[in-house]
A and B are shown apart, each in its own frame.
Chain A
Amino acid sequence: MPDVDVVVIGGGATGAGVLRDLAMRGLRAVLVERADFGSGTSGRYHGLLHSGARYVVHDPESARDCARENAVIRRIAPACLELTGGYFVATPDDPLDYAERFVPACAAAGVEVDEVSPAALLDAEPLLNRRIWRAFSVADASLEPWELIDANLASARAHGAEAWRYTRLTRIVTGEDGAVAGVELEAGRTGERRTIACSAVVNAAGAWAGQVAALAGARLGMRPGKGAMLVMNRRLTSAVVNRLAPAGDGDILVPVHTVSILGTTDVEVADPDDVRVTDEEVRALLADGDRLVPGLSGSRVVRAYAGCRPLYDEADVDAAHESREISRAHHVVDHGQRDGIRGLWSIVGGKLTTYRLMAEQTVDAVAGALGVAAACRTADEVLPGSEEGRSYWLGERLAALEAEGGGDADLVCECEIITSGQLQAELDAHPDSTLDDLRRATRLGMGPCQGAFCTCRAAALLSDRQGMGLNGSATPDPNAALLAFLAERVRGTRAIAWGDQLAELWLEAGVYRGTLAVDTIGAAGNGSQDGAPSHAEP
């Protein structure tokens, strides 16, 4: 008798969606994630709920999926959305004839588009290029990935599933018949090992799916495509803006909470953990960004980051073509049929927008093999937190703070408006959180100062809780947490360290190295006297 029916590998949107679907169909399931939920590709994308229009011309299958799932997510997860709307706009640098292909392709793929006059567009989005000559509105929206993952996990837990973060898969155990028998796991922070017996494993590790499959001796033709993005200090547009052209580098601008995200490059990489942003990528993004919003390159960039698309080359043959041309469509790979490893499925490719559909198709296969006939209900049942059907809006946090008396509130993160009460609540729920976990849960440190002012306050909070005995056994030491978070925040500013952000870095260096002398943090933290990271060195 196995411990569970299914183990899901990977705590991104897809894995969380698979776990929820499994649990809702009555299967006993557990999800393991090597780091924090949503710390891989799901937490490193541009924040766009696709209308599908981006893909209509060259990948109509993906377009159709996006259009369908867009409507589903609006229904089941409105609380994870800001309904910004979106546009496709033709700048003078875009092909004259693309619209002639775009409009019929949208109709064919079931993607709704409406042509709007450039004058009306510029009235609504005054920072856009005044020379935009054609525009279409589409059903894009801004999607908060961590909320979506959390909601899926909450729903899965409510149906009896479990999800463990900071748990690494070390081996997929197969029986003599070649069928999956269990998994070996290692808790990342305590090093504790355990084995879980199961009937099936779903590999939802996305860009890392090749590495996971290898643990069972199977080979997957993953082609991780790195996409770099820039975080602008403020919103430059209130709706999503896409270039009316075949996909390029800086061709999309997405309002995400307080910022605009400019994306994305596409560079094939060997290692999905290689998400460094290069100078070339930054330059390419800024140059293209200026075509959408003139002056964008001169306004403040607070961070650069990259994620790896979980692209999968089904044919696994034509290695010559570039990764942007590889289909964004997803595939459920049955390793029983393909590699003789029964009970192992990989879900690869796809987009965050289609996470639920990917989960549904995966679980259809798994449930069928396990003899469970229950139908998928994930498209019908609203996710926890979305019951009221309300989406968020930009001013929500400020309005809430003002209602509480504004300046009286104990703000930890000023840029993104996070009170100590909110962090305490998050720590009560997840006592072992690192500051980076708190960031994904609350946006801590994601504003213009990139942690310069909130890191010491948040670390002080961990320290206070330590004194009160509220921290978990896996809670990082507050000093180590401080150093790690600073290092991580500074890392993302290296590629864009000029102008105002450089001034910010110097101020941060003054605060932490000068005033607080963090370099002298010794053995109490994980840092050492001579090995302290030069995290605040611009």
Chain B
Amino acid sequence: MTFTDAADRHYPAFSTDACIKCNVCNTVCPVARVTDLFPGPKYVGPQAQRFREAPRSADHSVDLCSGCGFCTRACPQGVRIAETNSRARAEMVEERGSSLRNRVIADTDLLIRLGVPFAPLANFALRSRILRWIGERVVGVHRSAALHPFARRTFQAAVARRRVSDDRGPDRTLIYFHGCAVNGFETSLGRDAISVLERNGFSVIVPPQSCCALPMISNGLYPQARAKARRNLTVLGDYARRGYRIVTTSTSCGYTLKAEYAEMLDLDDPDARAVARQTWDICELLGDLHERSKLDTRLAPLDRELPYHPPCQLKAHGIGTPAMDLFALIPGLRAWNSEHDCCGAAGTYGLKRERWQIAQDVGRGLFARLRERPAPDMACDSETCRWQITASTSIPARHPVEYIAESYRRWDAAHIGEVARAEAGTQLGAT
């Protein structure tokens, strides 16, 4: 336990002392808005907390909390409601155990290890309506839930073959934490991210890494999550303590590294603190470069509308919407913010047979808005949100940095001769 005394408001369960029952959390909860099954953050958070005493759990409705964290951010008294809920769920799982389904869908490293080698077969299964129906019945994963097809080769395997940049010291080298989405499903996002970072003068190192453990945290599987987190901290902590920055292309993994290892898992050692301090979301990092006039802004026009949905996890970072700031640098790109709270996916929440409808109802307003103003695709910083949006609207969804990469590529294509001339001129001038 990390608390130092009974008044330690850093410890989520103790922060509930500050609740004045004002109900602000209930007004922002996307889940309570759509289902009576969830009695709301005030009830399952500070109220229920006073009746909890491990090891005997008294409640179960806290498990309907999707973990979006809006309550925590809305609370005028600083109660860490979502964090309290997560810990309560973990105590419940510790006492009553967890379903096989939850343990499997929370172990993305395992899913990737099993799915990627057999990608054609696995992806056929994911597309097969009959197999999905059986999956719902037997495993409990909803037949319509958003499951992204597996990549043919993991990102780790791909970069292992293509040695990524040399180490040029902490100021000019970034450590890329790609997360499971890039590793097993969206490898092109990883390539785009590296190209964008390299274009801005950085070397990029892709160290061996595990799942950040967020799916395990949100399924209450804390001991398993701690094991994953410790593995990551051993690798990342060494870099972070030496001043290297860690970059993520998932606001979910990023927030886990920044905050949840300490807040949820009580990992509070020098490695964890250094990693929390040194982790940057990629859009945050690019936005920071731009603020310091160090971003390469040779961006070609993308003449189009671009709907953008800021994921819940991004809001937890407290960094605004850097993706929108970057989109504004691309000529012709008319990005607009969905202004909707939550897509409903909440990581593995929307996959579950008994949660799928709730997740759909949570995201309904977002889906409607995206359909109202059709665009060829849309942008969002977290993978499970992208997959949920695509599965629910048929609109392809990409990470913001993929649009930056595309704009850079177009600029390069349009200026290919110019660059050659400029380089030739430089050489001439030098002689």
Chain A residues engaging chain B, CB cutoff 8 angstroms? 126-127, 233-236, 238, 258-259, 293-300, 393-399, 402, 406-408, 414-415, 417, 447-449, 452-453, 500, 503-504, 507
Contact = CB atoms under 8 A, between A and B. Distances in A.
B49 A402 contact: no
A258 B37 CA distance: 25
A217 B225 CA distance: 75
Given A293-B6, A298-B6, A406-B39, A415 B53 contact: no
B4 interface: yes
Contact of A395 (B6, B16, B59): B59
B58 A500 contact: no
Interface string B38-52: 111011001111111
Given A394-B51, A395-B56, A402-B58, A415 B21 contact: yes
21 contacts: A234-B50, A298-B6, A299-B6, A394-B52, A395-B51, A398-B58, A399-B59, A402-B58, A406-B37, A406-B39, A406-B59, A407-B32, A408-B39, A414-B47, A449-B21, A452-B20, A500-B18, A503-B18, A504-B20, A504-B21, A507-B21
A300 B48 contact: no
Nearest to A416: B50
Question: Which of the listed residues A297, A395, A399, A503 has the most CB atoms from chain B within 10 Å of its own CB?
Answer: A395
A475 to B, nearest CB: 28
A235 B54 CA distance: 12
A417 B77 contact: no
Contacts of A399: 58-59
Contacts of A408: 36, 39
Contacts of A126: 1, 3
Contacts of A503: 18, 20, 77
Nearest to B42: A414
B50 A415 contact: yes
B150 to A, nearest CB: 38
Interface in B106-138: none
A251 to B, nearest CB: 17
Nearest to B56: A395
A299 B40 contact: no
A530 B53 CA distance: 48
Interface in B183-226: none
B14 A394 contact: no
B22 interface: yes
Contacts of B18: 300, 500, 503
A453 B21 contact: yes
B51 A295 contact: no
Given A395-B56, A398-B59, A408-B36, A258 B20 contact: no
A151 to B, nearest CB: 23
B17 interface: yes
Given A295-B4, A406-B39, A396 B58 contact: yes
Question: Which of the listed residues B4, B16, B19 has the most CB atoms from chain A within 10 Å of its own CB?
Answer: B19
Contacts of A500: 17-20, 77
A201 to B, nearest CB: 44
Contact of A299 (B14, B46, B61): B14
B348 to A, nearest CB: 22
Contacts of A507: 20-22
B21 A295 contact: no
B57 interface: yes
Nearest to A453: B21
